[in-house]
Structure 1
């Protein structure tokens, strides 16, 4: 079972992720702004469903690697650390969109959900993120690795869904704010990038 200090740290980090505007947030805001609150909430639910898929994939792959070989675990650990640092640097230097809610067409909640699920499942960056992020909070000495990964993944999904619902409900005001203040997106990239880099360094220094 996950120890309380690790769980508290994990929840704090995830809350920082999900409440700083990122791709899922911007997609939700765009859908809610163009197609209504229900479509925005459906988009958030679709993203959550896609993240459940990635959680299961991470559970199967990571638990097998940790159980099978210390060498393989070290390899995936360093690959994951390098990927997180890469994401961080890219987030810091990448230009924010001038208008994050432009170019979207009105669609039904059902279609919004299906599109969000497919987009999230087919996003290799999300798959790699789960593979790199979740193992940092897994401790083999705390019991079943698969159960720990499942718990961490579900917490991530639930907190992410909660944040996208909040953003969907306030999409009108948030969309106007983001259009008037593009520098917010610029600074969120630097903040998220710093978090990714620090997590990558932490992962590289973590022992099995």
Structure 2
């Protein structure tokens, strides 16, 4: 129960993944926000496996490894900010997205989490707190807790996407509002990129 409550608080706190899911839901509808949620959730897998296999220790102790992953994440967030700023898409009732669009949305969500070195370190510090001392099934228990965390993330992100879609219905077909929202999200992505650039290993 302690793990579930703590995880819920962590998942509910708006971060880059939530921002991406909400912006996707606003501009492309609830179906697109579902795949954004899926991509962000799948992006947790590499960090979880890295923590279990001990790679997080390398990232935590190696300044070079941490900086490489960090700045790759910074560049990607700034790239997303640029795409959002330059986008000509406006809010509309058309929610149709083709297979290529689905793949692109899912991949972007996946990359948002995989390029965040703090997520790997988070799992290394977070999950072991909820394991029994002298645990003999460390790997399986870590995988179980990680799977629960991912499921909670997926559900919460879907709810964020549905919420953004309901707001979207009130903003439909307004070019001025669309541009304002685009610029706001672009600026937020840029700020998150700058924040990540100044992040340290601690």
The normalised TM-score by structure 2 is: 0.63
Question: Compared with structure 1, are the counterparts of its residues 164 and 113 closer, same or farther at alpha carbon in structure 2 (3 Å cutoff)?
Answer: farther
Could you say what the CA RMSD is over the residues aligned between the two structures, in angstroms?
A: 3.9
Gap runs ≥5 in structure 2:
132-137
Alpha-carbon distance, 1:185 to partner: 1.7
**38, 43, 58: which is aligned to 1:70?**
58
Query: Is the aligned partner of 1:128 residue 2:111?
Result: yes
Alpha-carbon distance, 1:168 to partner: 2.0
Query: Is the aligned partner of 1:180 residue 2:163?
Result: no
Question: Compared with structure 1, are the counterparts of its residues 148 and 96 closer, same or farther at alpha carbon in structure 2 (3 Å cutoff)?
Answer: farther
Question: Where do 1:1-208 residues align within 5 Å?
Answer: 8=9, 11-14=12-15, 18=18, 20=19, 22=20, 24-31=21-28, 40-66=29-55, 70=58, 74=62, 76-91=65-80, 95-101=85-91, 107=96, 118-121=103-106, 123=107, 125-133=108-116, 134-138=119-123, 139=125, 142=129, 143=131, 146=143, 149-177=146-174, 179-181=175-177, 182-202=179-199, 204-206=200-202
Gap runs ≥5 in structure 1:
32-39
Given that 1:81 and 1:199 are in contact with CA atoms closer than 8 Å, whether structure 2 keeps it comes out as yes
Given that 2:77 and 2:190 are in contact with CA atoms closer than 8 Å, whether structure 1 keeps it comes out as yes
Give, in whole Å, the separation in 1 of the partners of 2:187 and 2:27: 22
SS in 1 for 2:88: coil
Given that 1:84 and 1:129 are in contact with CA atoms closer than 8 Å, whether structure 2 keeps it comes out as yes
Given that 1:59 and 1:150 are in contact with CA atoms closer than 8 Å, whether structure 2 keeps it comes out as no
The normalised TM-score by structure 1 is: 0.62
Name the count of aligned residue pairs: 184
Give, in whole Å, the separation in 2 of the partners of 1:113 and 1:152: 30
Alpha-carbon distance, 1:161 to partner: 0.8
SS in 2 for 1:176: coil
Question: Compared with structure 1, are the counterparts of its residues 185 and 117 closer, same or farther at alpha carbon in structure 2 (3 Å cutoff)?
Answer: closer
